[in-house]
Structure 1
Amino acid sequence: MSEFTRRTALRAGLLAVPALAAPPLVAKVGAQQAFDWQRFKGEKVEASLTSNPRSSLLIQHQREFEDLTGIKVGAEQIPEQQHRQKFAIEFASGRPSFDVVGISLHVNKRQVGRAKWCSDIKPMIADASLTAPDFDFADFGAGAVTYSTQADGRMDTLPEFTDYFIMYYNKDLLAAKNIAVPKTFDELYTAAKALTDPAKQQYGFVGRGLRNANVVLWSSFLLGTAQRDTVSADMKLQTDTPDAIWATQMYQKMMRECAPPGSVGFNWNECQTTFMQGRAAFWIDGVGFAAPLEDKTRSRVAGKVGYAVVPAGPAHHHCALFGTAFGISEQSRRKGAAWYYLQWASGKANQLRYLTSGAGAPARSSPFSNEEAISSSRFPREFFTTLSESARIARPGLPEIVPVTEFRDTIGTAITNTIGGADPAAELKRATDAFRPVLEQSERAT
């Protein structure tokens, strides 16, 4: 069995602590009840994952799982949009090629739950012969567990990670003009305006402008209003209200007056590159994109990045919350082996890796109390404090509906048009009128 040493951990950019090592788990279970990590030795599970830093970490360390269990893993990671399309098509065919699938709950939760594509894992958690004694289900945050639970009570995914939108800022740019970290969106706009100097290719803000991708930034502004939600509790669309118009006007000002040319086509990766080059003072996006910013071989701002919670709006202070989880295909013939993989993938070791490598906020609580890991991380303490503070003010950044992609496409087109100068109220009304029948038809089919 391979040994996870301090040298290995340092190469991975992580802290080596006892909780990270897989081998001790084997020693613990030797004579424990009926549970046996080697129970499904010789089987192979296929895992379909979304391309992101967390999936890369799991694939990088999957040999650890294979040595622990004797189960082989065939894992692939696919770009986000293509992955969602692929697994939906395969599930609908009734013959998915995978046993384990990564799910973006903020996009596919209701779709997956309504079709019952994934198995209820509650019975597996309760089965002492299938669940490791130190799995510690209580370690998962209540919000993450709720996110993984369907309205009918089935828990058809196991939480992986909670993505909070935070505000990154360039400490040097703010210090040069003696500008304080903004506490409100109005303060953010004022600061970003003051830090925008096109002649120096320096901009006060960078954010997602691309249709569909931009909705999660726009909803970050909306969460600060009295309305907060894009769909009401009785499933009525509310995307052309005064609060929605305010959020769009704020988005429009930030993107038109403070962002670099071409940002109308920016997704997170273009925003990340711009910020890494030192050409933007502020960037609001997910916590999972932090790692490259602190990479001195790639980033001009390494060691100069500040982290803060998203500013407050006129009525509330919330940040957008998104989440991912792992599901087991209902059609899988290797559910036992797949459940073992889920326990490892969302186990304490990998969850700590997520946190200390900057790959995202873990769904478990224990990593945040690992003082040794936090103090030895390449990330400043401010990063971890920001995550903890964000957890307290987080709310879902997208509505829990089936046609989430259509929602993002339709509303996102309207938002994108405002970057070109279109009137926010007119664009939102047009988009709302276009999407309302889509939502109503989806609800009738529920």
Structure 2
Amino acid sequence: MTGTILKPSRRALLRGAAALGAAGAIGSPMVLREARAQAPFNWKRFSGTTLDVLMVKNPRSDLAQSGEKEFTELTGIKVSSEQVPEQQQRQKAMIEFASGKPSFDVSNISLHVQKRLLFKGKWMEDLRPYIADASLTAPDFDFADFGAGPVAYARQADGSLDTLPTFVDYWVVYYNRELFDAKGVSYPKTMEEIATVAAKLHDPAKGIAGFVSRGLKNANVPVWTSFVLGQGVETVSPEGKLLTDTPEAIWGAELYKKLNKDSGPAGAVGFNWNECQTTFMQGRAAMWLDGIGFATPLEDPSKSRIVGKVGYGIMPPGPKAHYAGMFADGIGISRGSQKKQAAWLYIQFMTSKARQAAMLRTGAGAPARSSPYLDKELIAQSKFGKQYFDCLLASAKIARAGLPQIVPVTEFRDVFGVALTNALGGADVAAELKKATETFAPVLAKSEQG
């Protein structure tokens, strides 16, 4: 393109960016760079402010808290953050959002659970105007660096972006290579083979389970839905029809039951991801199915007994399809906050290229930004080997939503979580799924009416 380039007015920039945002984009990176070049960015403009941040307890929150001192030095903004276990954090956030007076300015959000609830309640700020505002967004923020997939996952039906995606969690099979080698067992080639291999490696006399996964009601549902994906279907059709008592859903639940009953550790019915993680990293389980975002402590000598022995396996194919369950988290600003602009500085810092690269380097999860995956030096220096990164990238290519994208996701997990728990206790799988489907059907129907 040739000719004179005229710098548009600030008002025109924001108007144009907003229009593009509504169409599914945030605005031309070139135009935004032009706007931001007009004046140096002021990180100190909200110095003296204190932000309250509600976090989910996980390795990514540990990473964020480790960066708070640097953020305060950069901005003069103090951070008061709290990590709360996943299910309790979701409950706390929803209760406080509904009250209209949340105690936090910024919150972590599970997009696979809370996305549509946030939209329905209008509880979070649309971040598009912040991204387009040159006085609030640093010139090196580079929104275009966020992957199209994660952004699409975070974007609401009307085009608004009330969270920025922070990471995408692909479900993988962690496995203990030492235990596999000792028995001369190969990594399973199919979902059915997971059960076969688990049975060969199960050794209760030595305190070793062949397989471990979440057994706790609600938390256990993504394990089941991951297996159902192997039948080429989800638990709720795109048209909103429940497929939770079909032969495919029953097959997935039967496999879940078999693995946990025949090859799981004692007490697994009460396990969430953290109990599974502890069991696996203490060398007491041969395989663990869960999100790749829980890898960090596995290679930490101060916490793990299996450093250097961990295998990272792509979810094997099912009878009809090959998918890896996909989940994602985001971060956003509470609409009830009185410190929204300072909160946006916090979000920028915590989702910067450097912080996202640190997430990948430490094994805390798969970043939503694209640039970390192109950093060969970062990958080479990581304590996580080539198999980890190969597994992550291969899983991304076969990723599919691991939970139905509906408003009452929590209720879905509660109802079907009880069915799975009952099945582990000896109840008939098909009968439990039929009962749960009948219980949940009116809840889903009602949620779609309002």
2:330 alignment partner, one of 315, 325, 330: 325
The answer on whether the counterparts of 1:220 and 1:319 sit within 8 Å (CA) in structure 2 is: yes
1:304 alignment partner, one of 294, 300, 309: 309
Amino acid at match of 2:336: Q
- In structure 1, how many angstroms separate the alpha carbons of the residues matched to 2:310 and 2:352? 29
The answer on whether the counterparts of 2:254 and 2:429 sit within 8 Å (CA) in structure 1 is: yes
The answer on whether the counterparts of 1:30 and 1:36 sit within 8 Å (CA) in structure 2 is: no
- In structure 2, how many angstroms separate the alpha carbons of the residues matched to 1:30 and 1:230? 46
- In structure 1, how many angstroms separate the alpha carbons of the residues matched to 2:446 and 2:330? 27
Deviation at 1:86, TM superposition (A): 1.5
Deviation at 1:371, TM superposition (A): 1.3
Deviation at 1:244, TM superposition (A): 0.2
The equivalent residue for 1:360 is 365
Partner SS, residue 210 of structure 2: strand
The equivalent residue for 2:60 is 54
- In structure 1, how many angstroms separate the alpha carbons of the residues matched to 2:298 and 2:408? 34
- In structure 2, how many angstroms separate the alpha carbons of the residues matched to 1:67 and 1:277? 38
Partner SS, residue 326 of structure 1: strand
The equivalent residue for 1:19 is none
Deviations 1:99-135, CA, capped at 9 Å, x for gaps: 1111111111111111110111111111222211111
Deviation at 1:202, TM superposition (A): 2.0
**Structure 2: gaps of 5 or more residues:** 1-34
2:417 alignment partner, one of 412, 418, 430: 412
The answer on whether the counterparts of 1:225 and 1:313 sit within 8 Å (CA) in structure 2 is: yes
The equivalent residue for 2:70 is 64
- In structure 1, how many angstroms separate the alpha carbons of the residues matched to 2:366 and 2:141? 19
2:39 alignment partner, one of 13, 33, 37: 33
1:106 alignment partner, one of 105, 112, 127: 112
The equivalent residue for 1:378 is 383
- In structure 2, how many angstroms separate the alpha carbons of the residues matched to 1:434 and 1:77? 33
Deviation at 1:338, TM superposition (A): 0.9
State yes or no: 1:235 paired with 2:240.
yes
- In structure 2, how many angstroms separate the alpha carbons of the residues matched to 1:334 and 1:274? 42
The answer on whether the counterparts of 1:207 and 1:217 sit within 8 Å (CA) in structure 2 is: yes
The answer on whether the counterparts of 2:56 and 2:84 sit within 8 Å (CA) in structure 1 is: yes
The equivalent residue for 2:30 is none
Deviation at 1:96, TM superposition (A): 1.4
Amino acid at match of 2:96: E
1:260 alignment partner, one of 254, 261, 265: 265
- In structure 2, how many angstroms separate the alpha carbons of the residues matched to 1:94 and 1:214? 31
The answer on whether the counterparts of 1:417 and 1:427 sit within 8 Å (CA) in structure 2 is: yes
- In structure 1, how many angstroms separate the alpha carbons of the residues matched to 2:172 and 2:419? 24
Amino acid at match of 2:236: V
The equivalent residue for 1:432 is 437
State yes or no: 1:169 paired with 2:155.
no
The equivalent residue for 2:211 is 205
1:444 alignment partner, one of 431, 438, 449: 449
1:316 alignment partner, one of 312, 321, 324: 321
The equivalent residue for 2:96 is 90
Deviation at 1:365, TM superposition (A): 1.2
The answer on whether the counterparts of 2:37 and 2:139 sit within 8 Å (CA) in structure 1 is: no
- In structure 2, how many angstroms separate the alpha carbons of the residues matched to 1:333 and 1:315? 51
The answer on whether the counterparts of 2:36 and 2:139 sit within 8 Å (CA) in structure 1 is: no
1:188 alignment partner, one of 175, 188, 194: 194
The equivalent residue for 1:149 is 155
Deviations 1:246-302, CA, capped at 9 Å, x for gaps: 101111111111112211111111111211121211111011211111122222211
TM-score (norm 1): 0.90
Amino acid at match of 1:270: E
TM-score (norm 2): 0.90
Shift in CA distance, 94/278, structure 1 to aligned 2, threshold 3 Å: same
Partner SS, residue 96 of structure 1: coil
State yes or no: 1:276 paired with 2:281.
yes
Shift in CA distance, 338/418, structure 1 to aligned 2, threshold 3 Å: same
Deviates more, 1:407-416 or 1:292-301: 292-301
Amino acid at match of 1:390: S
Q: What is the aligned length?
A: 416
- In structure 1, how many angstroms separate the alpha carbons of the residues matched to 2:127 and 2:148? 16
State yes or no: 1:158 paired with 2:164.
yes
Partner SS, residue 109 of structure 1: helix
Deviation at 1:30, TM superposition (A): 11
Partner SS, residue 286 of structure 2: strand
Deviates more, 1:49-58 or 1:109-118: 49-58
The answer on whether the counterparts of 1:34 and 1:128 sit within 8 Å (CA) in structure 2 is: no
Tell me which stretches of 4 or more aligned residues in structure 1 moved more than 6 Å.
none
**Structure 1: gaps of 5 or more residues:** 1-28
The answer on whether the counterparts of 1:205 and 1:280 sit within 8 Å (CA) in structure 2 is: yes
RMSD between aligned alpha carbons? 1.6
Deviations 1:369-402, CA, capped at 9 Å, x for gaps: 1111111111111111111111111111111112
- In structure 2, how many angstroms separate the alpha carbons of the residues matched to 1:409 and 1:421? 19
Deviations 1:331-352, CA, capped at 9 Å, x for gaps: 2222111111111011111111
